[in-house]
Amino acid sequence: MPKTKPPKGIGSEIVAFFASVKLALVLLITLAVISILGTILPQGESLAFYDQHYSPVSGKLIRFFQLQDMYHSWWFQWLLLLLTANLIVCSLKRFSSTWKVVTAPSRSVSNHLFETLYFHRKFTFRDRPQDPLAWVQSLLSRQFGKPVALPAPQGTAFFLEKGRFSRFGVYLVHLSILVIFVGAIIGSLFGFKGSLELMEGEEKDRIFIKGAHSLRELGFAVHLDRFTMTFYPDQMPKEYRSDLSIREKGREKERAEVRVNDPFTYKGITFYQSTWDQIPVSIELILKKGGQESNLEVRMEERIQVPGTSYALEAVRYANNLGNLGPALGVILFNNSDEVDKGWILARHPAFHGNRLGEFQLTIKEIKTRYVSGFQVNRDPGVWFIWIGASLMLLGFIITFYFSHQQVWVWIRENTGSKSGERIEILMGGTAHKNRRAFVLKMEQITEKVQGS
């Protein structure tokens, strides 16, 4: 009767599941699909945004699966943990066999050994080398390291090898992926990404987190001492710089200059110069109606009564460069609380026919503005793990693709059965665990030297 295999236990089935290559492929494909979905679906918006732009069912799915911030969602973390477990179990299961190969002693020489090697040649000579070790060293040591003498049934035998460590290259790549995953998980759980806007002289100790739509305390205050800009001749921004001071409990701890591509880090929190803007503090307007002229000082979103009339003005928007026409002010005209007219007033084109609201001709006499500096604020405690993992991955790829474990055997013995006078027989063979074509070419070049000798 045929023997039946004993049923596997639960532990063995769990190990087989996590060591499966199919599981790794499914997880990698799933992560790739998620990455594509993350580029299509807007990330970091408020839940109200998704309720407004998607159907009720889609909105519920987005809420439940946290698709508005999927890379920080609970299921994405579980996918990473599952892939991590797959890599660990798969590597450990295969590592034992690799370790046995690497630590195994060299096989003793025999006719059968050379017949099983990927490359083997046989040579016959009249005379035996006077110093077999020196001869083998001169022939092979440059390519394969120091020869080691082996016991042989007759004659002299040597073994050489190089690149034994290359068998661990794939495990180094696996380790690097795990280190990167650890860094990603740490950054996801304990890091954040937000924004900060400061006017000159302003100080804040909290930033806005876009994905969570909340404020987060920094543990210290950031004060914008000065904001400076330089321009090209066509008035396009050339460079902008923020002079910051860091304060804790009312005391200044550090100062820094932050430019584009030149960030500043304090206590693991990095500030990147990202945007700038100008906010009007006050605007002086001249209103003309018929032969009458009125001067008004207007502040943003503050309704000002036009003297001697039932009309009022409110500045609601400001643009630094409206349609390449320069600064412009968006104004609404009211009459007894009723909106009468609205439009843009161009500061650099006072004679523009559109600078009118109702019966009034408006001219901007002066706009006093203040710069606003915008920063992207990041904290990623896992970034060093990612850098270490990337370095290990590069090293692992170099070892895996550019090195191989190569082994060579040489056996010098008496050829007792020869009738031609060639009494010495030299057997040479070897193998490589990858890139065998290059190994064979190298061995053929060496055998040409043997034949020439």
**pLDDT tens for each residue of 207-254:** 998 766 678 999 999 999 999 988 888 777 788 899 999 999 889 999
Q: Give the separation between CA 257 and CA 413, rounded to whole angstroms.
A: 77
Cβ count within 10 A of residue 393: 18
> pLDDT class for 189, splitting at 50, 70, 90?
confident
- Assess whether pLDDT exceeds 90 at residue 451: no
- The secondary element (H helix, E strand) that includes residue 31 is helix 21-40
CATH 3.30.70 is the classification of domain 113-163+404-452? no
Sign of CA dihedral 4, 8, 13, 15: negative
452-to-121, 368, 408 alpha-carbon distances in Å? 14, 92, 20
Residues 6+ apart with CB under 8 A from 414: 154, 155, 423, 424, 425
In terms of Cβ atoms closer than 10 Å to its own Cβ (0-12, 13-18, 19+), residue 412 is buried
Considering only residues 453 and 433, tell me which one the structure prediction assigns the higher pLDDT.
Answer: 433
The predicted model gives 171-176 an average pLDDT of 92
Helix residue ranges, H only, 162-240: 169-190
Q: d(Cα 316, Cα 332) in Å, to the nearest integer?
A: 7
290-333 pLDDT tens trace: 778 888 888 888 888 888 888 888 988 888 888 888 889 999 99
Q: Is the pTM of this model over 0.75?
A: no
Measuring CA to CA, how many Å separate 343 from each of 87, 281, 362? 63, 20, 11
Six-digit token string for 365: 């006499």
Model confidence band, residue 271 (pLDDT cutoffs 50, 70, 90): very high
Question: Average pLDDT for residues 32-58, to the nearest whole number?
Answer: 80
Q: Is the confidence at residue 94, as pLDDT, over 80? A: yes
Q: How confident is the model at residue 73 (pLDDT cuts 50, 70, 90)?
A: confident
CA distances from 70 to 36, 78, 179, 188, 328 (A): 12, 12, 21, 11, 40
Is pLDDT at 1 greater than 50 in this prediction? Answer: no
At 416 the three-state DSSP class reads coil
Q: What is the pLDDT of residue 65?
A: 82
Arithmetic mean of pLDDT, 118-131:
86
* CB contact set of 235 (below 8 Å; sequence gap of 6+): none
